[in-house]
Amino acid sequence: MVEQAIEISPEDIFGLIAFSGDAKASYHAALHLLRENKIEEAEAEVVKGDSILKEAHAIQTKFVTLEAQGKSAKVGVLMVHAQDHLMNTILVKELLDHMMTMQKEINNLKGMN
Protein backbone atom coordinates (compact mmCIF):
# COMPACT_ATOMS: atom_id res chain seq x y z
CA MET A 1 0.00 0.00 0.00
CA VAL A 2 1.42 3.37 -1.03
CA GLU A 3 0.99 6.12 1.51
CA GLN A 4 -0.47 9.39 0.35
CA ALA A 5 1.20 12.56 1.49
CA ILE A 6 -0.82 15.31 3.09
CA GLU A 7 0.11 18.92 3.64
CA ILE A 8 -0.21 20.45 7.08
CA SER A 9 -1.20 24.03 6.45
CA PRO A 10 0.23 26.98 8.38
CA GLU A 11 -3.38 27.85 9.27
CA ASP A 12 -3.79 24.50 11.03
CA ILE A 13 -0.46 24.83 12.80
CA PHE A 14 -1.12 28.35 14.01
CA GLY A 15 -4.70 27.37 14.81
CA LEU A 16 -3.38 24.71 17.17
CA ILE A 17 -1.06 27.22 18.80
CA ALA A 18 -3.67 29.98 19.08
CA PHE A 19 -6.54 27.80 20.29
CA SER A 20 -4.29 26.05 22.79
CA GLY A 21 -2.96 29.35 24.11
CA ASP A 22 -6.43 30.87 24.38
CA ALA A 23 -7.79 27.83 26.22
CA LYS A 24 -4.84 27.82 28.62
CA ALA A 25 -5.34 31.53 29.27
CA SER A 26 -8.98 30.85 30.18
CA TYR A 27 -7.93 28.11 32.59
CA HIS A 28 -5.41 30.41 34.27
CA ALA A 29 -8.04 33.15 34.45
CA ALA A 30 -10.38 30.68 36.15
CA LEU A 31 -7.83 30.01 38.87
CA HIS A 32 -7.20 33.72 39.42
CA LEU A 33 -10.93 34.41 39.66
CA LEU A 34 -11.37 31.56 42.12
CA ARG A 35 -8.63 32.99 44.33
CA GLU A 36 -10.88 36.05 44.58
CA ASN A 37 -13.79 33.70 45.38
CA LYS A 38 -15.55 34.57 42.13
CA ILE A 39 -16.82 31.04 41.65
CA GLU A 40 -19.40 31.61 38.92
CA GLU A 41 -16.99 33.69 36.83
CA ALA A 42 -14.27 31.06 37.30
CA GLU A 43 -16.56 28.28 36.18
CA ALA A 44 -17.57 30.35 33.13
CA GLU A 45 -13.87 30.66 32.20
CA VAL A 46 -13.49 26.89 32.44
CA VAL A 47 -16.46 26.40 30.11
CA LYS A 48 -14.95 28.96 27.72
CA GLY A 49 -11.57 27.22 27.85
CA ASP A 50 -13.15 23.83 27.22
CA SER A 51 -14.94 25.17 24.16
CA ILE A 52 -11.73 26.65 22.75
CA LEU A 53 -9.78 23.47 23.52
CA LYS A 54 -12.30 21.49 21.47
CA GLU A 55 -11.35 23.62 18.45
CA ALA A 56 -7.67 22.76 18.91
CA HIS A 57 -8.46 19.12 19.45
CA ALA A 58 -10.51 19.04 16.23
CA ILE A 59 -7.45 20.12 14.26
CA GLN A 60 -5.34 17.42 15.88
CA THR A 61 -8.04 14.80 15.32
CA LYS A 62 -8.12 15.67 11.61
CA PHE A 63 -4.45 14.75 11.25
CA VAL A 64 -4.67 11.63 13.41
CA THR A 65 -7.61 10.44 11.30
CA LEU A 66 -5.78 11.09 8.04
CA GLU A 67 -2.75 9.18 9.27
CA ALA A 68 -4.94 6.29 10.39
CA GLN A 69 -6.26 6.22 6.82
CA GLY A 70 -2.72 5.70 5.51
CA LYS A 71 -1.95 9.31 4.69
CA SER A 72 1.18 10.82 6.15
CA ALA A 73 2.59 14.29 6.54
CA LYS A 74 6.02 15.77 6.85
CA VAL A 75 6.17 17.15 10.36
CA GLY A 76 8.31 20.19 10.93
CA VAL A 77 9.42 22.06 14.00
CA LEU A 78 6.35 24.33 13.90
CA MET A 79 4.00 21.35 14.07
CA VAL A 80 5.97 19.89 16.96
CA HIS A 81 5.75 23.29 18.65
CA ALA A 82 1.98 23.38 18.08
CA GLN A 83 1.56 19.88 19.53
CA ASP A 84 3.64 20.94 22.52
CA HIS A 85 1.26 23.84 23.15
CA LEU A 86 -1.75 21.56 22.86
CA MET A 87 -0.38 18.92 25.20
CA ASN A 88 0.59 21.53 27.79
CA THR A 89 -2.93 22.95 27.67
CA ILE A 90 -4.41 19.48 28.09
CA LEU A 91 -2.18 18.97 31.14
CA VAL A 92 -3.34 22.29 32.61
CA LYS A 93 -6.94 21.17 32.02
CA GLU A 94 -6.31 17.83 33.74
CA LEU A 95 -4.86 19.54 36.81
CA LEU A 96 -7.38 22.38 36.84
CA ASP A 97 -10.17 20.42 38.51
CA HIS A 98 -7.89 19.43 41.40
CA MET A 99 -6.52 22.93 41.74
CA MET A 100 -9.99 24.48 41.76
CA THR A 101 -11.13 22.03 44.43
CA MET A 102 -8.11 22.92 46.57
CA GLN A 103 -8.65 26.65 46.06
CA LYS A 104 -12.29 26.33 47.11
CA GLU A 105 -11.15 24.55 50.28
CA ILE A 106 -8.58 27.28 50.93
CA ASN A 107 -11.21 29.97 50.40
CA ASN A 108 -13.50 28.13 52.80
CA LEU A 109 -10.78 27.91 55.45
CA LYS A 110 -10.14 31.64 55.04
CA GLY A 111 -13.84 32.28 55.62
CA MET A 112 -14.35 33.61 52.10
CA ASN A 113 -17.58 31.68 51.56
Catalytic residue among 28, 32, 57, 81: 81
Exposure string over 56-78, b if 16+ CB within 10 A, otherwise e: bbebbeebeeeeeeeeeeeeeee
CA 46 to chain centre: 11
85 included as an active-site residue: no
What are the catalytic residues?
81
